[in-house]
Amino acid sequence: MTEIKVALIGVGNVASALVQGVEYYKNAKASEDVIGLNHIDFAGFHVGDISFVAAFDVIDSKVGLDLSEAVFAEPNNVMKFAKVPKTNVIVNMGKELDGVDDMLKALVKVSDKSTSDVTKVLKDTGAEIVLNLLPGSAREATLFYANAALEAGCAFINGTPVSIASDSEWSAKFKEKGLPLVGDDIQDQFGSTILHRNILQLLVARGVRVDKSYQLDVGGGAESLDSHYRGRMRKRGVKTSAISQDLPYEAPLVAGSSDYVPFLDNGRESYFYVHGRQFGGAPVVIDIRMEVTDGPNAGPILMDVIRGAKLALKREIGGALEAISAYGFKKAPVSVPYYKAERWVEEFLLGKRKL
């Protein structure tokens, strides 16, 4: 078995679902009908090849715990679908910076433990890939961990909307060191953005003129709290830009988080409205409501992205990975329609595309 050594930055709901998912699917077979996985085998690696060797957080309820316990510690409220055995990976005290704002501090207590030497921990644990799952507005903290990954010689996957993979200077830094860079802002397996994009693509393909459209999200959990109060406009800009690329013309579009609803826990509800014109100018109106559980929604995409980054390490490819980023992220270095991103990934896996 080829071990893919991953360090987690932020042990929130998404990290919890990912850790659970590796345990849940570690024995999945290609011959079986496996629900919820995009790929059992991806880039020649199985889900079970993913191993978590380090983790960082700043919340008192998680720091110092074994990762198997920390993924279920408050304020995490993601569904529990797998029993995680002891990992012997103790959650380190990370660098707080702007990772916890005043709104989030109403829900959690920051640990008073000493900050770990992040670069040293990454080196000592043999981490190959650093996965950044901090709150979306934690810009300074994201930059800090991206630089730590560089210093430790690790690939970096940025799950936040902060510009790292989509920034040419960061890409150049990782390319110079021969380290893969992937991001930015993880796109869920089946979330509001991917559904909205595919609706618009279908309408355009069928000759319908889209006049206007909106997508509004409400949710509970710490990430929804951050998206609404601190990162609302950044998140809205990223989501709106992501769906805009699927229209070959200009039209009024709005997409983003509209409210934080505590009792939804790790649930997210999305509302879509599309107005268009079809044959003869006849109106078309689409009005949809979708409900999903937020944390697990990123799991299969992250599993693919981690394995894609490992393949790039194996091939000694540095810098922003265009194909993998376009496939799994809303704010990729090069944004293309989803069908094209999937084709790019197939070409990358076959070695027909360098990035």
- Mean per-residue pLDDT, 1-19: 95
Would you state the pLDDT for residue 147?
98
Would you state the pLDDT for residue 232?
58
Report yes or no on 284 lying in a domain: yes
Last residue of a domain, one of 294, 312, 336: 294
- Mean per-residue pLDDT, 4-18: 97
Element (H, E) at 51: strand 50-57
Would you state the pLDDT for residue 225?
75
Report yes or no on 355 lying in a domain: no
Is the pLDDT at 192 greater than 80? The verdict is yes
Are both 126 and 202 inside the same structural domain? no
Report yes or no on 216 lying in a domain: yes
Cβ pair 327, 343 in contact under 8 A: no
Among 4-8, 55-59, 80-84, 262-266, the minimum mean pLDDT is found in: 262-266
At 109, list the tokens.
């207590």
- Mean per-residue pLDDT, 245-250: 90
Are both 113 and 153 inside the same structural domain? yes
Strands 180-182 and 253-260: unpaired
Would you state the pLDDT for residue 238?
78
CA distances for 60 relative to 113, 114, 302, angstroms: 8, 12, 26
- As for how many domains the chain has, the answer is 2
Angstrom distance (rounded) from CA 19 to CA 23: 7
The CATH number linked to 208 is 3.30.360.10
- Mean per-residue pLDDT, 93-121: 91
Are both 153 and 231 inside the same structural domain? no
Cβ pair 151, 253 in contact under 8 A: no
Last residue of a domain, one of 294, 313, 336: 294
Are both 132 and 204 inside the same structural domain? no
Dihedral (C-alpha) 257, 62, 75, 239: value to the nearest 10 degrees? 10
Q: Which residue has the higher pLDDT, 338 or 313?
A: 313
Would you state the pLDDT for residue 102?
77
Report yes or no on 236 lying in a domain: yes
Angstrom distance (rounded) from CA 74 to CA 56: 15
Would you state the pLDDT for residue 128?
98
Is the pLDDT at 233 greater than 70? The verdict is no
Over residues 27-70, the pLDDT tens digits come to 999 878 899 998 999 989 999 999 999 999 999 999 999 999 99
Confidence of residue 230 (pLDDT cuts 50, 70, 90): low
Are both 170 and 283 inside the same structural domain? no
Over residues 133-167, the pLDDT tens digits come to 999 889 999 999 999 999 999 999 999 999 999 99
- Mean per-residue pLDDT, 165-192: 96
Are both 70 and 118 inside the same structural domain? yes
Average pLDDT along the chain: 93
The CATH number linked to 141 is 3.40.50.720
Would you state the pLDDT for residue 9?
98
For residue 210, the enclosing domain spans 192-294
Angstrom distance (rounded) from CA 347 to CA 56: 34
Cβ pair 16, 73 in contact under 8 A: no
Report yes or no on 354 lying in a domain: no
Are both 261 and 345 inside the same structural domain? no
Are both 150 and 70 inside the same structural domain? yes
The candidate with the shortest Cα–Cα distance to 271, out of 279, 281, 261, 263, is 261
Angstrom distance (rounded) from CA 184 to CA 170: 12
